Amino acid sequence: MAKTGKGARAKLRSFFLEHVGVVLDSERLREVSGGISEWARRVRELRDEEGFDIQTHNDRSDLKPGQYVLVSTKPKPAFERGISKETRAFVLDRNGFTCQMCGMAAGEPHPYDHGRKTRLHIGHIIDKSMGGDDSPGNLRAICSVCNEGASNLTLNRPDAIKLIAQIRRASGKDQLDVLDWLIGKFPDQARRRLK
């Protein structure tokens, strides 16, 4: 790939805009980014900060892990990155410079990142898209592997009975929001079940 002098984020932005509606895999996106290890973070920045409607398997059942698609060039509301250096330093110090999901310490070789040193980021406990904020109480140290979802080092996923129990305790509006999300993610299956 020829050097253009553009950063990874700009390269990814251009590539997504040239491939609207096309399913792109993580290896190709890593290559487009110039092979940087934090390419997935740049994709998240496009989605969260610039409002690109980039969807993954978390959003659509027809996508596999590691697949991304820019649905539309029309931007979604973007969230501003507002974590100060002071807040970042406070959270890292409070969390002992360790990932709060897998326990890896900053600088240790990470077994699930090809032996690269563990890099810590600041992550939201309640995501900004779900109403979370940038206050220290809603922030935690998280390594790039857990932050990018590249490993199953996190807590076990809740089973159906636990999810249903949580949904039952939610307000009616929140239950309807979950229903809308499920129908959006599984439209064909929802139509079949409703017949």
**Residue 131 zone, left/alpha/beta (φ > 0; ψ -120 to 50; rest):** left
- Phi/psi at 96 (5° precision): 65, 25
> Which stretch of 31-35, 55-59, 85-89, 146-150 has the lowest confidence by average pLDDT?
146-150
| Mean pLDDT value across residues 47-60 | 82
Q: What is the pLDDT of residue 41?
A: 86
User: CA quadruple 34, 38, 42, 43: dihedral positive or negative?
Assistant: positive
Q: What is the pLDDT of residue 79?
A: 52
State what percent of residues in the chain have pLDDT above 70.
88
Instruction: Categorize the per-residue pLDDT at 163 as very low, low, confident or very high, splitting at 50, 70 and 90.
Output: confident
Angle between the N-to-C axes of helices 172-185 and 160-169, in degrees from 0 to 180, rounded to the nearest 10: 140
Between 59 and 133, the higher pLDDT residue: 133
Instruction: Categorize the per-residue pLDDT at 176 as very low, low, confident or very high, splitting at 50, 70 and 90.
Output: very high
State what percent of residues in the chain have pLDDT above 90.
29
Q: What is the spatial distance between Cα 22 and Cα 18, in angstroms, rounded to a whole number?
A: 9
Q: What is the pTM of this model?
A: 0.47
Residue pLDDT, tens place only, 3-42: 445 899 999 999 999 999 999 999 999 999 998 888 988 9
